[in-house]
Structure 1
Amino acid sequence: MTGGENRLRRRSLLAGAAGMGAAAALPVTAARAAPPVSASAPAESAASGPRPRPSNWPDPEPYGLADTRLDLWPRDDNSFVLPLEPRPRDRELGRVWMRDTYVNCFVVDGRALYVATGTTRVPGLEAAGPWNDGIFVWTAPSLKGPWKLVDTTGVRPGAEKGKVWSPEFVGENRPGRTVVAPWQEYWHDEQFGRRGNVWAPEVHRFKGKWYIVACMGDHSRKVGSFMLVSEAGIEGPYRLAEGSLDKPFGDALPDVPHIEPGARFHIDGGLYTEGDDAWLVLHNDLYARFRSDMEDIVTTTNLPEFRQLPYSPEPYLEGAHVFKHKGKYYLLHAAWDRTSVDAYGSTRNAYDPPAPGRVQYQYDAILAVSDHFEGPYSKRWTAGVGAGHNNIFEDHDGGLWATFFRNPNFGHWSDPSRIADAAVPGVVRLEWTGPDDNRLYVQRESRGGR
């Protein structure tokens, strides 16, 4: 998720780029060289001395309690919703409906290229299931925009603009080039009718090629993560990597309702790159190194796990993501903060597994930090309230950001009074607490202790 061609040179490289003024000094993923000064803070000088870093907040005790302070929410002063170009289906709502928002920034031909994607739905359905129609990508020269659907008209003149992959493209399969595998095709059953949905796409540029890592959702013939490759531009055409031809990456998981026996694998796959190496990251705690040709992972079964400090008991975690900043590795998860009543009659907010009396409240971003990719990782902390299932990225000026989407299915954002503001392509500024503490938080309004 960071590294390789995602990394930046200094902003002087971009000085002539259109729309890159100070007013738009917003997100490119980390640079090999020392990161430039963030646009969110003035440059340090010998006269003024280094600016003090915000401090860590004491963690709620015991380990596993959630921090619910409003300072950790995406707010008007630290976040905004991306003004993505609407498709015809978006006009009634007035914006793009999106879950699992992903945003990144790359340097292409000497200019910053911002990329956005996520899970979307088809007209007439309230969710991204039991089927949806593929992966859409937007690009912009600045985080503020203008955000345009990627121009796919040269690849598929008759298809909807911006759609880079879909089960609908199965007719493009050719000997030696598979676009849609049999396990990704639409299918039907008596309970749901048409089935097959794609979730949580990520876009990456690595060694001169564009990659999309995504997963087929829980109404698909097989459920799990796959990878697409474009040897041309970000618009495609994309083909399926060899390791995804017969099944999703990794091992099959225990059976659950609504998924055919033996068809459930690890979802929400992501890509982390560093130098010439790349890894697949799977929720909730698995990873695997890619082969040098990027067609498959080296170890395809019994994948290794990140070494991290679990909660007790450990809930189901989603959306694993790794980001490197200032030499440290940050392991990001999405976890449900569930409320309950403790023995004293007070509200308890914790990252608990489901149980009677526990109510889903917020879908949070939790972080842990390590000196090594595989761990061991520190204790986790609440990095953003309601900002779960996201990614972290670095802008063209060195500032750190995370995405969010406001989960519409359960909890705070599912309330009828708030549902109109849920499922959004949002971004929120992050702050780093410095080399002694090495924490990342949503940019807080007040930075003192408890």
Structure 2
Amino acid sequence: MTDPDNEVPVGRRSLLAGAAGVVGAAALPGAPAHAAEMPRYPANWPDLEPYGLADTRQDLWPREDNSLILPLETRPRDEELGRVWMRDTYVNHFVVKGRSIYVATGTTKGPGPTPAGSWNDGIFLWVAQSLRGPWRLADTTGIRPDAEKGKVWSPEFVGENRPGRMVVAPWQEYWTDDGQFGKRGNVWAPEVHRFRGKWYIVACMGDHSMKVGSFMLVSEGGVEGPYRLIEGNHDKPFGESFIGGPGWIKPGAYHHIDGSLYHEGDDAWLVLHNHLYAKFRDDMEDIVPTTGLPKFKQQPYSPEPYLEGSYVFKHGGKYFLLHAAWNRQSANSDGSTRNAYDPPGTGRTQHQYDAVVAVADHFEGPYSKRWTAGVGAGHNNFFVDRGGQIWATFFRNPRYGYWADPSRSGDAAVPGIVRMEWTGPKGNRLYVQRRR
């Protein structure tokens, strides 16, 4: 959960290898009586200079010893690959009426070999009582007996619209262009949240939609739905339109994408990439203000690249702001390789889609300098399991770079999670669990 009131107290697994060191210190002759009460935390790595260089060390990769691919229940379209193809993987843990429930979702594709564009067929949810499963498609059969199980929202549900209840807005419907792409309309990067006893999904209509940008659904039942569109998105996505995206997007159609939700106490905020946020109205039917959105106070790179997948996570009383940034490789003057979060440019090659993180005392900032928290783990979220362990999601971006190589592409686009380690109340950094 992103609400600190739902954080689980630190458990055995969250101490990781540091717990053994505490026990050893307490056993030494002359050790202070309170030594066993002083947990040892892993150290921060020194900042790379100049600011903006990417950390490429193998310790920051999701590996067999610190991560796993979730065994999600497959659908007929997944049979050839043998697993679920997923981008923008999202996983979270909730406690509902005293019971744990894990929820997984992400960007999936429709039947056939085409990735999640120029159209896909909506949002699927998987649920489990344990991270290791079994992971079952959410049981939507009681809502739509004749529809594909686990599909909680899709442009094809437009026929469910009723006076006073909109499920699919006109700008979210499938459409057909003049022959360049044919059928169009795709939904990206869904997230599931539980706030004030209700289930919400924040997602984004992708680059092939009539309007491109973020929206929110609210369930009128359980996590499986049925979901409807909130009032503030009946006519458009959140925020203002601006010129952006690929050339086929019509002027005025592009809004802020990859929306996320952060909540604390009775308040909730929309988080938009790559620098914006807005508070939700008390009824959660829209944001305030709807234009002129405020920006997080950050320490940008120079120059600042395009960032994606913003997410806020609170831990240890601090706010962690996540971004996805492309680590681009280029050549230094001496011929060595430069890895940095540079904007696109001549001689710069996309290498890894990393997770970069900054920390602050307040939600809006000011945030610290960013650091590399996970190599190839960009566009993710952090969550805490029922034992107190922090995890991050990852998916291995199949579009460009390392995971687009034909020799590795079969292992890309996965529903992955990786253990994270916290460097304590003084270090206040989160990294992919490094080797000991």
Q: TM above 0.5, one fold? A: yes
In structure 1, the residue matched to 2:274 is: 284
Tell me the residue number matched to 2:291.
Answer: 301
Measure how far apart 1:36 and its partner are. 3.0
Alignment-derived partner of residue 14 in structure 1: none
1:238 is paired with a residue whose SS is strand
Residue in structure 1 matched with residue 31 of structure 2 by the alignment: none
Residue of structure 2 equivalent to 1:438: 428
> For residue 85 of structure 1, what is the aligned residue in structure 2?
73
Code of the residue aligned with 2:182 in structure 1: it is G
Q: Is the 8 A contact 1:364 1:384 kept in 2?
A: yes
**Structure-1-length-normalised TM-score:** 0.92
- Displacement of 1:41 in angstroms is 2.9
Q: CA offset at residue 83 of structure 1?
A: 0.4
Q: Using the alignment, how far apart are the partners of 2:190 and 2:109 within structure 1?
A: 13
Give the residue type in structure 1 aligned to 2:263.
T
Q: CA RMSD in A?
A: 1.3
Q: CA deviation at 1:404?
A: 0.1
SS of alignment partner, residue 424 of structure 2: coil
| Matches of 2:352 and 2:228, distance apart in 1 | 37
1:381, CA displacement in angstroms?
0.2
Q: Which residue of 1 aligns with 2:13?
A: 39
Q: 4+ runs of 1 displaced by more than 4 Å? A: 42-47
Q: Could you tell me how far 1:38 is from its partner in structure 2?
A: 4.3
SS of the residue 2:427 aligns to: coil
Which residue in the other structure is 2:175 paired with? 187
Residue of structure 1 in register with 2:193 after alignment = 204
Report the AA paired with residue 306 of structure 1: F
Aligned-partner Cα distance in 2 for 1:176–1:303:
28
CA contact (8 A) 1:59 1:67 kept: no
Aligned with 1:56 (options 34, 37, 44): 44
For 1:124 and 1:233, the matched residues in 2 are separated by 31
Match of 1:2 in 2: 2
Q: How has the CA–CA distance of structure 1 residues 306 and 47 changed in structure 2, closer, same or farther, with 3 Å as cutoff? A: closer
SS at match of 1:267: coil
Counterpart CA distance in 2 for 1:205 and 1:425 is: 21
Equivalent in 345, 365, 373 of residue 375 of structure 1: 365
CA distance in 2, matches of 1:166, 1:314: 35
Give the match's secondary structure for 1:375: coil
Q: Is the 8 A contact 1:321 1:333 kept in 2?
A: yes
- Whether the 8 Å CA contact 1:255–1:262 is kept in 2: the answer is no
Over the matched positions of the two proteins, sequence identity in percent amounts to 73
Matched to 2:349, the amino acid is V
- Give the alignment partner of residue 135 of structure 2, picking from 135, 147, 159: 147
Amino acid corresponding to residue 248 of structure 1 in structure 2: P
Change (3 A) 1:411 1:373: same
Counterpart CA distance in 2 for 1:126 and 1:269 is 24
Tell me, yes or no, if structure 1 residue 178 matches structure 2 residue 162.
no
| Residue 253 (structure 1) shift | 1.6
1:122 corresponds to: 110
Q: Deviations over 1:85-108 (max 9, x none)?
A: 001111110100000000000001
Distance 2:220 2:361 in 1: 34
Question: In structure 2, what is the equivalent of residue 24 of structure 1?
Answer: none
1:132-153 superposed Cα distances (whole Å, 9 cap, x missing partner):
0000000000111110000000
Cα gap change, 1:53/1:136 in structure 2, threshold over 3 Å: closer, same or farther?
same
Q: Which deviations, in whole Å up to 9, do the C-alpha atoms of 1:312-337 show, x marking residues without a partner?
A: 00000000000000100000000000
- Distance, in Å, in 1 between the alignment partners of 2:35 and 2:397 is 46
Greater shift in the superposed pair: 76-85 or 247-256:
247-256
Match in the other structure for 1:343:
333
Q: Distance in 2 between matches of 1:38 and 1:192?
A: 52
Query: 1:66 maps to what in 2?
Result: 54
In 2, the alpha carbon distance for the partners of 1:135 and 1:255 equals 25
In the alignment, what sits opposite 2:29?
A: none
Which whole-Å deviations, capped at 9, do the CAs of 1:108-156 have from their partners, x for residues lacking one? 1211000000000012133100000000000000111110000000000
Between the aligned partners of 1:330 and 1:60, the Cα distance in structure 2 is: 19
Aligned match of 1:11 = none
* Equivalent position SS for 1:2: coil
Alpha-carbon separation, structure 1, partners of 2:38 and 2:418: 24
1:422-437 equivalences in 2 (<5 Å)? 422-437=412-427
- The total of aligned residue pairs comes to 420
- Determine if contact 1:117/1:136 at 8 Å carries over to the other structure: yes
Q: 1:40, CA displacement in angstroms? A: 4.1
Match of 1:220 in 2: 209
Q: Take 1:126 and 1:75, find their aligned partners in 2: how far apart are those partners?
A: 28
Counterpart in 2 of 1:399?
A: 389
Could you tell me which runs of 5 or more consecutive residues in structure 2 were left unpaired when the two chains were aligned.
24-33
Question: In the alignment, what sits opposite 1:97?
Answer: 85
